[in-house]
Amino acid sequence: MPYTEEAVHGIVQKQRRFFQTGATLDVNWRIEQLKKLRQAVIDHQEALEAALYEDLGKSPMEAYLCDIGPVIVEVNEILHGIRKWARPERHFSGLMCFPSVSTAVYKMPYGVSLIISPFNFPILLTLGVLAASISGGNTAVLKTSSKSAASTRALKKLVAETFPEEFVTVVDGGHDVADMCLDERFDKIFYTGSPAVARHVLEKASRHLTSVALELGGETGNWCIVRKDADLRDAARKIAFFKLCNAGQICININQIAVAEEVAETFLAELKRAFIRQIGEKPEDNPEYPKLITPAVYEKCERLTAEYRDRVVFGGTGNREAVRFAPTVIYPVRIDEDIVRHELFCPLLPVVPFRDAETEALLNVIAEREHPLSMYVFTADKRWAKRVMSTQQYGGGCINEVCIHMMVKGVPFNGTGHSGMGAYHGEWGFREFTHPQTVLTGKTRFNLPLREHPYSGEIGKKKRKLLKLFER
């Protein structure tokens, strides 16, 4: 259906009226809705897999591994912990507040939430965030990507069959419809996408002082560092898998590799072997290899490949009709070249050589650029790796591994700076979609007159002594 400002306003107002009934405050009710969501994903699995293949060329296995299965995992984690998370915290108020010694912190939902999801993981990054919103007791308007049209149709059907519109609804359409949503007063906005659009989202949200969470890819892309002491075969195997996944269209994917020049040739040989072993000599003709979301992204790959043609050491070919472009390794690339100064979000993989003894200089350059969403290091020196990972600024990452940090239960998924703000997954998602309210319960007897006038004279001196005593 074509959306108008009046129609979008009506949807938001309907959800606001429903939220004001207080129905979503009941944790048992939230649990019931989460179970409905989980069952709906299970019941619609084949339809979701078909939609993901139509939009992104994802095989059923990759669709379930990366997009559908993680939603079920997320819901299960929330169901396991929500009663504990939602319970009010009890605190001793302290002697300064005597005799009112009991304070509670209530975890309250924001209200009506707007979830703007991207094309690259249209199921996970819509329904996974929805699960967090429901856990916090919010209603939700889901603005899905117009680029992944088949997934949006599947989501609209799933949501309409599972929830009433006044609780959860899907809104599709382009940027004009997104702006209609952003012009409304929401209580919480969760956006996943690019830093450029995130600035626009923040500007719109500022008009209503709406709380915003942003999950972004990072302005200058995610780094992977391969030291000379790394297990090169293991590193190549994992990096190849990750770059093949969704054809590189992943916000936490490796944007560029920095490899110690002492082992660069050996590493590149291992990387080529890993790509061929996993996807074949002509990835662009392999039906298991995902496609690019639009012809425009394919053309970007062609243009950049042509620009660096003399340095393409693997790949560089594509199938325009199938919109598939092979994983393409470009080497050597200087650290100051444009291709490693912005997020690529495609199967191109620039490789920057560095002298292993000058690793600190490399880290300084990375630190000077915008904070990435992810960072990966491969090395046998665990002490060095832990020092780097505990001093650099980024969203999350791995030592001698790729991407699976986001699959760990109980930990946040988040970015910082140009890679985002806020966090979710499990309890962190519950926290993101609730705000803490502190309430002290006062006493009507035995109240000391410490805070009352007079403040001077002998009485004032005694009050000051007592206050200092209570400060301990």
pLDDT per position in the chain (472 positions), as tens?
Answer: 689 999 999 999 999 999 999 999 999 999 999 999 999 999 999 999 999 999 999 999 999 999 999 999 999 999 999 999 999 999 999 988 999 999 999 999 999 999 999 999 999 999 999 999 999 999 999 999 999 999 999 999 999 999 999 999 999 999 999 999 999 999 999 999 999 999 999 999 999 999 999 999 888 999 999 999 999 999 999 999 999 999 999 999 999 999 999 999 999 999 999 999 999 999 999 999 999 999 999 999 999 999 999 999 999 999 999 999 999 999 999 999 999 999 999 999 999 999 999 999 999 999 999 999 999 999 999 999 999 999 999 999 999 999 999 999 999 999 999 999 999 999 999 999 999 999 999 999 999 888 899 999 999 999 899 888 888 7
The residue assigned the tokens 């590149």 is 268
Domain with residues 222-369+374-411, CATH architecture:
3-Layer(aba) Sandwich (3.40)
Please, is 234 exposed, middle or buried when counting C-beta atoms within 10 Å of its C-beta (0-12, 13-18, 19+)?
middle
Q: Which residues of 114-147 are buried (b: 16+ CB within 10 A; e: fewer)?
A: bbbbbbbbbbbbbbbbbbbbbbbbbbbbbbbbeb
pTM: 0.96
Given a contact cutoff of 8 angstroms between Cβ atoms, the answer to whether 288 and 251 are in contact is: no
Q: What is the dihedral of CA 274, 279, 285, 288, to 10 degrees?
A: -150
Q: Is the peptide bond before 99 cis (omega within 30 degrees of 0)?
A: yes
Residue extent(s) of CATH 3.40.605.10 domains in the chain? 5-218+421-435
Task: Tell me 443's DSSP state.
Answer: -
Q: Going by DSSP bridges, is the β-strand pair 254-260/348-354 parallel, antiparallel, or unpaired? A: parallel
Quick check: helix, strand or coil at residue 427?
A: helix
Given CATH 3.40.605.10, say whether it is the number of domain 5-218+421-435. yes
Strand blocks (E) in 134-217: 139-143, 168-171, 188-193, 211-216
Of 74, 77, 215, 219, catalytic = 215
Establish how many alpha carbons lie within 13 A of residue 379's alpha carbon, considering only the half-sphere containing its beta carbon: 23
Tokens of 52: 């993901």
Strand partners, 439: 104
CB atoms inside a 10 Å sphere around CB 329: 24
- Radius of gyration of the chain measured on its C-alpha atoms: 26
Distance between CA atoms of 373 and 393, rounded to whole angstroms?
A: 9
Quick check: helix, strand or coil at residue 349?
A: strand
* Amino acid making up residue 261: E
List the one residue out of 109, 105, 142 whose CA is nearest residue 27. Answer: 109
Tokens of 330: 């470009």
Of 181, 224, 245, 251, catalytic = 251
Please state, in angstroms and as integers, the Cα–Cα distance from residue 375 to each residue in 194, 234, 366, 385, 389, following that order: 18, 17, 10, 11, 8
Assess whether 224 carries a catalytic annotation.
no
Q: What is the pLDDT of residue 461?
A: 93
* Amino acid making up residue 148: S
Task: Tell me 87's DSSP state.
Answer: S
Residue extent(s) of CATH 3.40.309.10 domains in the chain? 222-369+374-411
The residue assigned the tokens 């809104």 is 171
Assess whether 219 carries a catalytic annotation.
no
Q: What is the pLDDT of residue 1?
A: 64
Tokens of 369: 């650029």
Q: What is the pLDDT of residue 95?
A: 86
CB atoms inside a 10 Å sphere around CB 439: 10
CB atoms inside a 10 Å sphere around CB 148: 26
Distance between CA atoms of 235 and 258, rounded to whole angstroms?
A: 12
Distance between CA atoms of 214 and 97, rounded to whole angstroms?
A: 38
